[in-house]
Structure 1
Amino acid sequence: MIDLQPLTDDDRELIELARRTVDANTDGPDGVYTMGAAVRGVDGRTYAGINLYHFTGGPCAELVALGRARAEGARELTTIVAVGNEGRGIQAPCGRDRQILLDYYPTIRVILPTADGGGAVLATDLLPESYRWTA
Structure 2
Amino acid sequence: MTSALPAADRELVRAAAHVARTRCRGDNHTMAAAGRAPDGRIVTAVNVYHFTGGPCAELVLIGAAAAQGVYELETVVAVGDRDRGVVPPCGRCRQVLLDCFPAVKVLVGRGDRVRSVPVADLLPESYVWADHQVEADTAAPSEP
- The reply to whether residue 108 of structure 1 matches residue 120 of structure 2 is no
Q: Which has the larger radius of gyration?
A: 2
Q: Is the 8 A contact 1:33 1:84 kept in 2?
A: no
Please name the residue that 1:26 is paired with: 24
Where does structure 2 lack aligned partners over 5 or more consecutive residues? 134-144
User: What percentage of aligned pairs have identical amino acids?
Assistant: 49
Within a 5 Å distance, the mapping from 1:12-91 to structure 2 comes to 12-28=10-26, 34-91=30-87
* Higher relative helix content: 2
Where does structure 1 lack aligned partners over 5 or more consecutive residues? 1-5
TM-score (norm 1): 0.88
**Separation in 2 of the partners of 1:89 and 1:115?**
7
Please name the residue that 2:142 is paired with: none
Q: Per-residue displacement from partner, 1:54-77 (whole Å, max 9, x unpaired)?
A: 001101011111111111111221
Q: Which amino acid aligns with 1:13?
A: E
Post-superposition, which runs of at least 4 consecutive aligned residues in structure 1 deviate over 6 A?
none
| Other structure's SS at 1:129 match | coil
| Other structure's SS at 1:77 match | coil
Greater relative CO (CA pairs within 8 A, separation 6+): 1
* Higher relative strand content: 1
**Separation in 2 of the partners of 1:17 and 1:114?**
16
